[in-house]
Amino acid sequence: MGGLHYGHGELIKFAKGQKVSAPSTVLVSIFVNPLQFNPTEDFKNYPRNLEEDCKLAKASGADAIWAPSFNDVFNGGIDSHFQLLAPAQLSKELCGASRPGHFDGVVTVILRLIHLVKPNCLFLGEKDWQQYLIIRQLIKDLQLPVELIGVPTIRDKDGLAYSSRNQYLNSAEKKKALELPKILEKAAFATSLGQGFDTASMKSELRKKGLIVEYLEVVDPFLLKPSRKKEKFTLLAAAILCGETRLIDHRFLMNRKPIVAIDGPAGSGKSTVTKKFAEKLGLLYLDTGAMYRAVTWLIQKNRIDIKDREALIKMLESIDLKLQQTPKGEQKVLINNEDVTSSIRSPKVTQQVSEVAALSDIRNTLTAQQRLIGKDGGIVAEGRDIGSSVFPNAELKVFLTASINERANRRAIDLKRQGFKVPDLSSLKRQIKERDDLDASREISPLVQAKDAEILMTDGMCIEEVVESISRMFRLKVPEELWPTP
């Protein structure tokens, strides 16, 4: 919309730095859209300073600026063009309640801009989260060939979210306006500690400071309806009037960092992509299969009969299983202080691990340890039962799979790389099938696709493509503002 500020500059830098589907050429569009203002709003006075905008865009790395006139966008006038209605469910909530027609104007123009520019990616600030959600649905419903990427809200050092409208504030008003981010931050902090807060007293506190509260609500972050407290995280959103200036702000409320669960059958490529995805997002990587393998290795080393429950329990009581992340993002596996990272990959361990993993005492011990590792979130865990049993509240659950042929081929490459003898393809297929059957038919936490998991069939996809697909899925579930900073 123009009136570019530091926040826009950061958004441009973010777009320029993204290694999304194609190398980025960043076009900044500047168009003060009259269709999204209603007659009582500030369309005429909305900040316009193209010269300054160009300077800031260029300094932030933009390759081009496109500042069309109304006629460039709607040649022949608005009445000779289609106009859209934004979905009522999303657009009547929050800002929509006091700005009838606002989101219709937004989507009408955005659709037109997308058609004229044909971008690969569209970068939008998450500050206008409701607008972001509505445009996301526009893209989905009309199947527009553009990827939407949200950019976290940028704040000044006092915490005020950058907005073109901030320049309307005089210094006394600016001071007053800071009460909004302050109070939202307080609520977000309380939530992170597992404590509650009360929106009624927050509103009255803001009013006492001389602000008019249009709304301040805790809502479902995707439906924008009052929270049913069932969501994994919620959105605390507010709009206020500070003097004549309308400001909006929000915080996503969550009491831990996000969790990603990646499950799937043997040889579906989970370890490689999970490791890469975790590295990309700065999340902890947890290979739970390695834990079952380590226990199997110890059982074999100590020649324990797995039918001897007493001996198993004794072994589990004194077990010291550690997963250490090396600076390269690799996972080192130590059991009773012995580094077993490579030995747990041997065919001998592979052959028995599914049988060992079906034992309830072993599953209970390892599941408890996995939950402890992931209690604060910030983790990508892979295995067979992560989404269905270990972390049923994970924000994203992926069921990664591939055809048996593809998996056998991958296994052969893996074994060769690790210096093990490679069986012929048909024996490999048989072994994989046997493990699938054992894992899927065991009584406790069998290998299943959790009902809310996204299935990803990876035949013919390279590792980067799989990682990119998982990143896209994550983006749809977790706002960029909740992504850990790598």
Query: Minimum Å distance from CB 84 to ligand DC?
Result: 46
Question: Shortest CA distance to 150 belongs to which of 235, 74, 46, 39?
Answer: 235
CA distance 354 to 128: 49
CA distance 361 to 227: 39
Q: Does the footprint of ligand DC cover residue 397 (CB under 6 A)?
A: no
Q: Are 173 and 243 in contact (CB under 8 A)?
A: yes
Q: Does the footprint of ligand DC cover residue 289 (CB under 6 A)?
A: yes
Among the listed residues 99, 112, 246, 293, the single contact to ligand DC using CB under 6 A: 293
What DSSP element (H or E) covers 55? helix 50-59
Query: Minimum Å distance from CB 401 to ligand DC?
Result: 13
Choices 73-81, 254-262, 286-294, 453-461; region in contact with ligand DC by CB under 6 A: 286-294
Tally of CA atoms within 13 A in the half-sphere of 269 that contains its CB: 28
Please identify, using beta-carbon distances, which residue of 276 and 384 lies nearer to ligand DC.
384
Query: Minimum Å distance from CB 289 to ligand DC?
Result: 3
Choices 159-167, 289-297, 327-335, 465-473; region in contact with ligand DC by CB under 6 A: 289-297
Please identify, using beta-carbon distances, which residue of 255 and 352 lies nearer to ligand DC.
352
Q: Does the footprint of ligand DC cover residue 160 (CB under 6 A)?
A: no
Q: Does the footprint of ligand DC cover residue 439 (CB under 6 A)?
A: yes
Please identify, using beta-carbon distances, which residue of 245 and 274 lies nearer to ligand DC.
274
Alpha helices in 178-319 (DSSP H): 179-192, 199-208, 270-281, 288-301, 309-317
> What is the SS3 assignment for 29?
strand
Task: Find the radius of gyration of the CA atoms of the chain.
Answer: 27
Query: Minimum Å distance from CB 425 to ligand DC?
Result: 18
The CA–CA distances, whole Å, from 58 to 72, 120, 151, 166, 365 equal 23, 20, 19, 22, 57
Query: Minimum Å distance from CB 67 to ligand DC?
Result: 53
Query: Minimum Å distance from CB 353 to ligand DC?
Result: 4
Q: Does the footprint of ligand DC cover residue 60 (CB under 6 A)?
A: no
Q: Does the footprint of ligand DC cover residue 266 (CB under 6 A)?
A: yes
Query: Minimum Å distance from CB 293 to ligand DC?
Result: 5
The pair of structure tokens assigned to 362 is 């072993």
Q: Does the footprint of ligand DC cover residue 385 (CB under 6 A)?
A: yes
The 8-class DSSP code of residue 343 comes to: G
List 8, 102, 115, 250, catalytic entry: 8
With contacts defined by CB under 6 A, how many residues of the chain interact with ligand DC?
14
The label of the residue with tokens 């900044």 reads 28
CA distance 325 to 202: 43
Tally of CA atoms within 13 A in the half-sphere of 367 that contains its CB: 19
Among the listed residues 5, 276, 435, 477, the single contact to ligand DC using CB under 6 A: 435
CA distance 91 to 159: 27
Q: Which residues have CB under 8 Å from 337's CB, separation 6+?
A: 320
Among the listed residues 288, 401, 458, 469, the single contact to ligand DC using CB under 6 A: 288
Residue nearest to ligand DC according to CB distances in the complex: 383
Among the listed residues 102, 251, 257, 384, the single contact to ligand DC using CB under 6 A: 384
Question: Shortest CA distance to 104 belongs to which of 121, 124, 122, 82?
Answer: 82
The separation between the first and the last C-alpha atoms of the chain, rounded to the nearest angstrom, is 30
Q: Are 394 and 283 in contact (CB under 8 A)?
A: no
Please identify, using beta-carbon distances, which residue of 107 and 344 lies nearer to ligand DC.
344
**Cα 377–382–388 angle (5° rounding)?**
80
Question: Shortest CA distance to 328 belongs to which of 272, 265, 394, 279?
Answer: 279
Choices 128-136, 287-295, 320-328, 477-485; region in contact with ligand DC by CB under 6 A: 287-295
Query: Minimum Å distance from CB 282 to ligand DC?
Result: 23
Q: Does the footprint of ligand DC cover residue 102 (CB under 6 A)?
A: no
Q: Does the footprint of ligand DC cover residue 153 (CB under 6 A)?
A: no
CA distance 483 to 376: 14
Q: Does the footprint of ligand DC cover residue 383 (CB under 6 A)?
A: yes
Binding mask 349-378 for ligand DC (x = CB under 6 A): ----xx--x---------------------
Please identify, using beta-carbon distances, which residue of 148 and 470 lies nearer to ligand DC.
470
Q: Does the footprint of ligand DC cover residue 203 (CB under 6 A)?
A: no
CA distance 484 to 453: 22
CA distance 38 to 48: 18
What is the separation of C-alpha 158 from the centre of its chain, rounded to a whole number of angstroms?
27
Query: Minimum Å distance from CB 405 to ligand DC?
Result: 18
Please identify, using beta-carbon distances, which residue of 108 and 274 lies nearer to ligand DC.
274
Query: Minimum Å distance from CB 260 to ligand DC?
Result: 14
Please identify, using beta-carbon distances, which residue of 127 and 293 lies nearer to ligand DC.
293
Q: Does residue 8 have an active-site annotation? A: yes
CA distance 452 to 449: 8
Q: Does the footprint of ligand DC cover residue 407 (CB under 6 A)?
A: no
User: Which residues would be at the binding site for ligand DC (CB under 6 A)?
Assistant: 266, 288-289, 292-293, 353-354, 357, 383-386, 435, 439
Active site residues: 8
